[in-house]
Amino acid sequence: MSELPKNRKVTRADVARYSGVSTAVVSYVLNNGPKPVAPLTRERVLEAVRVLGYRPNAAARALSTGSADMIGMIVVDSRNPFFAQLCHALDRATVRRDRSLLIANSDREHVAAADQIHDLAARQIGGLIIADVLTAVEQAIIESLDIPVVLINQYTGASKTPAIGVDFRAGAKSAVEHLIEHGYRDIAFVGSALAIDRRERGWSDALSEAGLPLGPRLHAPFSYAGGYEAGLALAESERRPRAVFAASDQIAVGLLAALHRAGLRVPDDIAVVSFDGTMESAYTWPPLTTVAQPIAAMADEAIRQLVTGVLTPGLTTFPTELVVRESCGCAAGVSGVGAGLVEVDSTSHLDLSL
Amino acid sequence: MSELPKNRKVTRADVARYSGVSTAVVSYVLNNGPKPVAPLTRERVLEAVRVLGYRPNAAARALSTGSADMIGMIVVDSRNPFFAQLCHALDRATVRRDRSLLIANSDREHVAAADQIHDLAARQIGGLIIADVLTAVEQAIIESLDIPVVLINQYTGASKTPAIGVDFRAGAKSAVEHLIEHGYRDIAFVGSALAIDRRERGWSDALSEAGLPLGPRLHAPFSYAGGYEAGLALAESERRPRAVFAASDQIAVGLLAALHRAGLRVPDDIAVVSFDGTMESAYTWPPLTTVAQPIAAMADEAIRQLVTGVLTPGLTTFPTELVVRESCGCAAGVSGVGAGLVEVDSTSHLDLSL
């Protein structure tokens, strides 16, 4: 049997012909049913799949190796639940537009990020998304590329490069205003020391406008451990605040663990509101009231710009939404676990045999 | 000024010459210090970086476009904390061997995974890691590739393809034995219904060997919501167990939220032990006793096989380790938050202004 010409797509009929079976039998093998197939026949079909390089998705676009159908992404730390969900949303948005996403970690080492920008660009990708704060050098590098670049999770739109982010200052302010509405007067901040991160500013805006003094301010890394250490410090402090605004859900999870450890009740002794609206914020105890970022909408916008080539220079800002659960002091009935999930994960298939 | 020949690496001296400054000034711009640089000079240097395509990492390997220096990875769902940490560990292991990792999500749609295997292979990668359970078709596809493939987080080593995983059955058994040592007699299982996932078998092994009856068995998806629903079902059940073995940390987080919601105390009313040993397991309340997978060691082994080309066909099994915290009923002093972390995240830079 002669080989197929390289530029023709291998079909199910080719697999059937090569293996000497009907196309129906090929389907049974590929779909594991509905009818059984004898082991040796099955092996012959799979051998044909291997030899011919058959791809079973008939609706799939023709493979255009080295074309612009892949989008690259560079992300600081995909273990962080916020970034993990952002990557996932970008992946979904990319697939919806018939592209696929390739993710590389930069891990906050800026020299490595510069390497990765070059490496990814050399992979003949159709566009690049970067979820990291760029140095001037990296900024210069991406401006020298001949592919479109969109920055995401950004604080500022300092350069011509399209950037997408939320209004961190307004979001943080809404969280602290909610705590003030609860009647709390002494409200702490736990979050980044970076001046361009406007969440601390949103916290101080809300307190100043309400005529309240600034509560304790703790600069902690965006990690569980950072939140945990801050929580222990607050719990042991002579000036223990009545409420805390935590700049991320991950910090809040660590904070809650430390407050529990110190024997404090949340929200009765100390109330907590956080930022991000990741899935896990609905499953802490108590469930976190949090400022949700519109992760799916931002991901869609980033991919839309890359795929259409209609780029919006500077910063495009998305509004946040306060998801009210119980850590702030609101009643359980109002919302509860699962309320306001930006993206609810599958709950099907629970199969009980009690 | 003439362009540089394409095959010579651009140096800092080239950038200095192009922009008419000293190499020291180039360094100040690239490193943001230690000395200040006038804005216009800075702009000129960055322009030179752009035009010449300078990459600041002098120690970086020469860029070999399209060579085997990139390893591809296909993962089911990188939002799942276990897979997120596995990807991160693989990334670290890859960087240590002077390669980089490109991650694609398969999202449990097997046809899409087949597409992605082809897509990644077409990117001239040096090897492929797959963290998913493969269908026969996918197995046939990867056997037709001319690059090495290693499967990770695997239950079986059915094919010739190298596979890496833990002993799920022995790990689950050790968790349930620990619960039995606490004196609990009625121990439930919450986890996968998949027969190849041997965690349920490990649970029943431990109970049978101790002469105990099998407790309630709940088949739930690997998600927060799956654990939450299972927790509510257990809490409301007439036959409420004294302890639960949850097949993943993510399930356990959802389970804890449901038990708290139902007003039950963990471990006093119901004890919990889980599986995976992800970072978040140390920051739940109470902190989870969990069967830790040696994520870093498995990642190292996968990358070692791919990079050296010395592949080990069939399943390579790694042992698990029980990390004892408090959800099982052990005392806080024994371990506490942060104990037995497979990989501790950075806690530096906590900066308090109380």
CATH of A1-60, one of 3.20.20.60, 1.10.260.40, 1.10.10.10, 2.40.160.40: 1.10.260.40
> Picking from A98-102, A119-123, A331-335, B140-144, which range would have the lowest pLDDT averaged per residue?
A331-335
Task: Please list, residue by residue across A89-120, b when 16 or more beta carbons sit within 10 angstroms of its beta carbon and e when fewer do.
Answer: bbbbbbbeeebbbbbbbbbeebbbbbbbbbbb
- Quick one: closest CA in A to B142, which residue? A50
The torsion of the CA quartet B128, B132, B133, B138, rounded to 10 degrees, works out to: -40
How much is the average pLDDT of A243-267? Answer: 98
pLDDT at residue A134 in the model: 84
Mean pLDDT of chain A: 84
How much is the average pLDDT of A234-250? Answer: 96
Highest mean pLDDT among A40-54, B18-32, B71-85: B71-85
Q: Do B337 and A261 touch (CB under 8 A)?
A: yes
pLDDT at residue B109 in the model: 55
Q: pLDDT confidence of A343, banded at 50, 70, 90?
A: very low
Does the domain formed by B168-293+320-334 have CATH 3.20.20.60?
no
- Quick one: closest CA in A to B219, which residue? A351
Q: What 3-state DSSP class applies to B331? A: coil
- Looking at this protein, which amino acid is placed at residue A133? V
On the question of pLDDT at A66 being above 60, the answer is no
On whether the CB atoms of residues A292 and A323 are closer than 8 A, the answer is yes
How much is the average pLDDT of B147-175? Answer: 92
Q: Which residues of B touch A143 (CB under 8 A)?
A: 50
CA atoms of A225 and A247, how far apart (whole Å): 14
**Is A93 an 8 Å CB contact of chain B?**
no
pLDDT, tens digit, 9 for 90 and up, residues A280-294 = 999 999 999 999 999
pLDDT at residue B325 in the model: 97
On whether the CB atoms of residues A95 and B116 are closer than 8 A, the answer is no
Q: Do B78 and A103 touch (CB under 8 A)?
A: yes
**Is A19 an 8 Å CB contact of chain B?**
no
Q: Do B280 and A337 touch (CB under 8 A)?
A: no
On the question of pLDDT at B116 being above 60, the answer is yes
Mean pLDDT of chain B: 84
**Is A285 an 8 Å CB contact of chain B?**
yes
Q: Which residues of A touch B51 (CB under 8 A)?
A: 144
CA–chain centroid gap for A169, Å, is 20
Q: Is the ipTM of this complex over 0.95?
A: no
- Quick one: closest CA in B to A52, which residue? B144
Q: Do A50 and B78 touch (CB under 8 A)?
A: no
**Is B347 an 8 Å CB contact of chain A?**
yes
**Domain boundaries along the sequence of chain B:** 12-52, 70-166+296-318, 168-293+320-334
> Picking from A69-83, A209-223, B301-315, which range would have the lowest pLDDT averaged per residue?
A69-83
How much is the average pLDDT of B50-77? Answer: 62
- Residue B219 C-beta-side C-alpha neighbours within 13 Å: 10
Q: pLDDT confidence of B241, banded at 50, 70, 90?
A: very high
Q: DSSP string spanning A180-219?
A: HHTT---EEEEE---TT-THHHHHHHHHHHTTPPP--EEE
CA atoms of B192 and A303, how far apart (whole Å): 35
List the CATH code of the domain at A70-165+296-318.
Answer: 3.40.50.2300
Whole-number percent of chain B with pLDDT over 70: 85
Question: What class is the B70-166+296-318 domain?
Answer: alpha beta
> Picking from A262-266, B32-36, B173-177, B252-256, which range would have the lowest pLDDT averaged per residue?
B32-36
Report the run of H or E that residue B166 belongs to, with start and end. Answer: strand B163-166
One fold for B70-166+296-318 and B168-293+320-334? yes
**Is A348 an 8 Å CB contact of chain B?**
yes
On the question of pLDDT at B4 being above 60, the answer is no
On whether the CB atoms of residues B149 and B127 are closer than 8 A, the answer is yes
pLDDT at residue B66 in the model: 38
Which residue shows structure tokens 């990390």?
Answer: B323
CA atoms of A55 and A10, how far apart (whole Å): 7
pLDDT, tens digit, 9 for 90 and up, residues B168-216 = 999 999 999 999 999 999 999 999 998 889 999 999 999 999 999 999 9
Q: A138 — phi, psi (to 5°)?
A: -60, -40
pLDDT, tens digit, 9 for 90 and up, residues B39-54 = 888 888 888 887 887 7
- Quick one: closest CA in B to A288, which residue? B257
